[in-house]
Structure 1
């Protein structure tokens, strides 16, 4: 049976190169995965490294600016609206 995380959020694949073949498998061990051959081992390593990169690595550094921006605008509008009244 597929783990709840895979059903709700999708698979979390980990990529690795083994010679000229790139392999991927779900980190949640649900059995999903596959492989693809490339002409050279260098290409397989390059693609595995590119696909294995996580977008959520620096999210803690970006979240305060982007996450709080709507709240800052709302507070600014609320303050400027109370001054004009």
Structure 2
């Protein structure tokens, strides 16, 4: 049994372009870092495991990490702002 059998390049590029142009944009709204595997691990361990996982695209992971980072930063800044306003 072959782990990675030879692929037909035409089928591969067609499926890849179809996924990124039609399917992925519809699913992007539903993506959340907490719903994906390894969400409970620390950032370095999660990054290594994601990049070694062939079922998950690295580009998607990086976008989700950025989105998560800005969301956490926004929450912290709002907390600081609220504490300043309460004084």
Q: Specify the TM-score bucket, using the shorter chain as the normaliser.
A: 0.3 to 0.5
Higher strand content, 1 or 2 = 1
- Give the TM-score, by structure 1 length: 0.35
- Give the TM-score, by structure 2 length: 0.34
Higher helix content, 1 or 2 = 2
**Whose radius of gyration is greater, 1 or 2?**
1
